Amino acid sequence: MFRVIGFCCLALGSWVSAVAAQQPAAPSRLDAILAAGVLKVGSTGDYKPFTFKDPATGAFSGFDIDQAQALATALGVKVEMVPTSWPTLMKDFEAGAFDVAMGGVSVTFDRQKKGLFSIPYMHEGKTPIARCGDAGKFSTIADIDKAGVKVITNPGGTNEKFDRANFRTAEIIVFPDNIKIFDEVAAGKADLMITDASETRYQQKLHAGVLCAIHPDQPFDFAEKAYWVQRDGTLKAFVDQWLHTSIENGTYGATYAKWFN
């Protein structure tokens, strides 16, 4: 009897598998993008040189905006930029407001729980930037975490998370405008900001002789930047292949040089 039941169950399982194989696969997010002819890209527009939204025209520009256009071209569709912010990025992503987030987005476990990340396109970490005359004062976490030291941060992202995890004595100042925040340091309203090494290098260029990046080649931690894709393996596979190809054929390098060199 046991053998008969086992055989019946095996036969039933094979029949179910055969029927399932005949069912059409559920359309992927990639299929939907191709059908609509539009790739929706979420970006904060406040993180130069990755992403910047012109307050007068609403137009986006930056390294990752060029990358978004290149991805859309590879897909054969148009780009639709969807404004978001660091405090609302997670909520907007979960609501499906865009297909992919691009604009200097760091890989985190919390974000990984909600979606998929492409292969990384940049390795870096958090490091300080301060007025050049004070740069020697803030080389370590212990140097910074002292009474009287003012650390400024933008709200809702990995910068604020890093500060609150590492500083108990230093004053943390939350400043809402990520475009003007470095001017606050330059003007002496804060002592330093801790952000991604790539951004400290860029802001050092914009504030030449005033602000200095502090050991950007030896950041406090390890981080990667990647493109945050909605949880669709087919879409992620396409983004991965496009990014890999662009790195290998030199188009990524040319875009990088345009914005970072």
* For residues 212-241, average pLDDT: 97
pTM score, whole prediction = 0.82
Same fold, 29-121+226-260 and 125-213: yes
Instruction: At 152, give phi and psi (nearest 5°).
Output: -100, 145
What pLDDT score does 1 carry?
Answer: 36
Residue 186 reports pLDDT greater than 90: yes
Q: Sheet with 51-53: list strands edge to edge.
A: 46-47, 51-53, 60-61
Task: Flag whether pLDDT at 9 surpasses 80.
Answer: no
User: Residues of the chain with pLDDT > 90: what percent?
Assistant: 87
- According to the model, what pLDDT value does residue 117 have? 98
Angle at 220 between CA 165 and CA 173, to 5 degrees: 45
Q: What is the pLDDT of residue 12?
A: 41
Read off the pLDDT of residues 124-145 as tens digits, 9 standing for 90 and up: 999 999 999 999 999 999 999 9
Q: Which residues pair with 122 in a beta bridge?
A: 225
Average pLDDT of the chain is 91
Q: Give yes or no for residue 16 having a pLDDT over 60.
A: no
Q: Are strands 192-196 and 126-131 parallel, antiparallel or unpaired?
A: antiparallel
**pLDDT given at position 27:** 80
Domain 29-121+226-260: CATH class, spelled out: alpha beta
Q: What percent of the chain has pLDDT over 70?
A: 90
Alpha helices in 95-249 (DSSP H): 109-114, 141-144, 158-166, 181-186, 197-206, 233-249
Q: What is the arithmetic mean of pLDDT over 134-162?
A: 96
pLDDT computed for residue 220 by the predictor: 98
Q: What is the pLDDT of residue 2?
A: 32
What is the per-residue pLDDT for 123? 94
Rounded Cα distance, 73 and 240, in Å: 15
Domain parsing of the chain, residue ranges: 29-121+226-260, 125-213
- Neighbouring-strand partners of residue 124: 223
Query: Can you tell me the mean pLDDT for 190-204?
Result: 96
Instruction: Kindly state the helix (H) or strand (E) to which residue 4 belongs, with its residue range.
Output: helix 2-22
Answer whether 46's CB lies under 8 Å from 53's CB: yes
| Pair of tokens at residue 223 | 């981080």
CATH no. for 125-213: 3.40.190.10
Mean pLDDT for 228-239 is: 97
pLDDT tens profile 60-110: 999 999 999 999 999 999 999 999 999 999 999 999 999 999 999 999 999
Q: What is the pLDDT of residue 248?
A: 97
What's the confidence (pLDDT) of residue 24?
57
When pLDDT is averaged across residues 158-184 and rounded to a whole number, the result is: 96
